[in-house]
Structure 1
Amino acid sequence: MEGDTYVDMRDSCLPWYRQPRRLLALICAIVGGFLIAFGPELRAVVSSPEAPLLEESTLSLPTPTVALMVVYVSGAVAAPDVYRLPFNARVIDALQAAGGLIAEADISGLNLAAPVRDGDHIRVPFVGETVLSLPANDQSGAGLLNLNQASAADLEELPGIGAALAARIIERRNTKGPYQSIDELREVRGIGEKLFAQIAPLVTVGP
């Protein structure tokens, strides 16, 4: 007892920060108060799920642009019209784009595997219709006027084309080189959209 009394008296004579029991009690009080004040927030932080990662579906790569050409499909097809096709398309692809053949179609003179060129006019004849025979290497431009071979007289046979416009078409061909697409006719002065729509189904481009 005397030893304990001596220790207590000795401790009471020391500064508070050198008294182990009081220092320990103070530390426990501080920690306890901290837990009481901030305990809920700490538990919420610990228990909260991680932020969801960015879903892969939100990452989209740009779609590559595919070059297309314009062809006109008419005759014995379900939906005659102007269509855009990839540059490696064949005649069969153009016919499928036009909704396929109708019952009255006669494809005996068409090479369905022939490549299609920009500006081509593919006409499917009806059964019993008389058509021009085609060269083996050209099954898609029957009866069409080749802009790169036509003379002024040939061009004047087109609707709305007189001597002056025929001369301009040939002049454009001589100055800028062969036509690569019938759309280039729009570059000729005097050929507007209305006239172009009239003659586009009647012409083609070639070597």
Structure 2
Amino acid sequence: MNLFNELMQRKALVAAAFLFALGAGLIGQTVLERLTPQVVQLSPTEAAAEFIDDAFAEDIVDLDTSERTATPTRVAFIVAYVSGAVRAPDVYQLPVGARVKDLVVAAGGLSDDADIERINLAAPISDGQHVRVPWIGEATIVAEAPPDEPDTGAGSGTLLDLNRATVAELDALPGIGAVLANRIVEWREREGPFQSVDDLGKVDGIGPALLAKLAPLVTVAP
């Protein structure tokens, strides 16, 4: 009887140890599952949809980048008119920020009788601006004859005699300032009377263009 009881006690101890080990294993597995990150298993349909979304997003980024790269840089232009003592007076298109020098270069450069001292080649140009390059000796404002001097009649159709005109009368002509007026008188006193209107071109500072402007206004009386 004692032997039977001893055997039953041993079986109970073994069963208790087995149950304890089984419970510990279940607890450990539960703790391990909670500590391990869960990996979501996607179905084939969901995985394919996610792959397509990622690829489409990459295509959008590539397309947006290529469009920004291919967009050309726009260059703004202005239009300006140049006249006077240049080789090709006309309207020209220039980039924004252009200077008077750029406009003169576009017009073929300055004429031989251009008065470069009276124009600022470094001045900026605005859209629609008119730049006029003056001739040598051209007056900025044509001076009027003093009240005590007779009218020369240059503006009323009467021709001015180069051999009798005074400095003031010559100064009143378009394109002739005080400097050129004195040169004409000095040339006449040094070389003798003008034989023709073309002799006016022999005066220093009077080029072909200015001579062409003066020819209809002056004469050489016999």
Taking structure 2 as the reference length, what is the TM-score of the superposition? 0.31
Higher helix share: 2
State which structure, 1 or 2, has the greater radius of gyration over its C-alpha atoms: 2
Taking structure 1 as the reference length, what is the TM-score of the superposition? 0.33
